[in-house]
C-alpha cells in the first residue's frame, strides 16, 4: 500500500469506540478527553441520542494503536479490530471519519480495496 498517514494523524489521531450508539469513529484531537467529547457530541447530533446517554467504551491514541498492532504496514494498525496469534483476524468495519484528513481516508480505501481483491481471488480459486 502506498498511502502513508500524515504527520497530523500521527500526532493527534484517536480511535473512539462507543457502545451507545454502537460505532467506531476516528477524530483528530489534542487529548483523549477532547476526542471523547468531540465524538460524543457528533453522535448525539447524528443519531439523536441525548449527550448524557452516549457511552464511550474505549479511546485509543495513534501511539497506543501502533504499540498494540501487528500489521507490517504500521499505518494499517489504526484499523485493526481483533488480533489472534499475531495475525489480524478482524478489521474495523464502517467507521465514521470525523476528520477531513485525506491520508486517513486514502489508507482506509486502500485497505478495503486490498481486502476486496483478496476475497475475489479466493472466490475465483474456489470456482476452479
The rounded distance, in Å, linking the Cα atoms of 110 and 96 is 16
Confidence of residue 1 (pLDDT cuts 50, 70, 90): low
Q: What's phi and psi for 34, nearest 5 deg?
A: -65, -40
Q: What percent of the chain has pLDDT over 90?
A: 70
pLDDT at 78 over 80: yes
pLDDT at 110 over 90: yes
Query: pLDDT at position 121, please?
Result: 84
What is the span of the domain harbouring residue 40? Answer: 7-127
The cell numbers describing 75, all together, are 499505518
pLDDT at 75 over 90: yes
Domain annotation covers residue 84: yes
Domain annotation covers residue 81: yes
Domain annotation covers residue 79: yes
pLDDT at 118 over 90: no
Domain annotation covers residue 35: yes
Confidence of residue 33 (pLDDT cuts 50, 70, 90): very high
Domain annotation covers residue 110: yes
Domain annotation covers residue 2: no
pLDDT at 84 over 80: yes
The rounded distance, in Å, linking the Cα atoms of 87 and 37 is 32
pLDDT at 128 over 90: no
Number of domains making up the chain: 1
Domain annotation covers residue 1: no
Would you say 99 and 14 are in contact if contact means Cβ atoms under 8 Å apart? no
Domain annotation covers residue 58: yes
Amino acid at each position: 500500500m502506498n498511502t502513508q498517514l500524515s504527520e497530523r494523524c500521527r500526532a493527534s489521531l484517536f480511535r473512539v469506540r462507543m457502545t451507545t450508539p454502537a460505532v467506531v469513529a476516528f477524530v483528530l484531537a489534542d487529548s483523549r478527553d477532547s476526542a471523547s467529547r468531540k465524538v460524543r457530541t457528533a453522535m448525539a447530533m447524528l443519531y439523536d441520542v441525548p449527550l448524557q446517554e452516549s457511552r464511550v467504551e474505549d479511546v485509543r491514541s495513534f501511539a497506543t494503536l501502533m504499540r498494540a498492532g501487528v500489521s507490517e504496514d504500521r499505518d494499517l494498525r489504526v484499523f485493526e479490530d481483533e488480533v489472534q496469534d499475531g495475525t489480524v483476524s478482524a478489521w474495523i468495519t464502517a467507521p465514521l471519519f470525523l476528520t477531513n484528513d485525506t491520508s486517513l481516508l486514502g489508507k482506509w480505501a486502500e485497505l478495503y480495496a486490498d481486502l476486496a481483491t483478496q476475497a475475489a481471488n479466493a472466490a475465483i480459486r474456489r470456482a476452479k
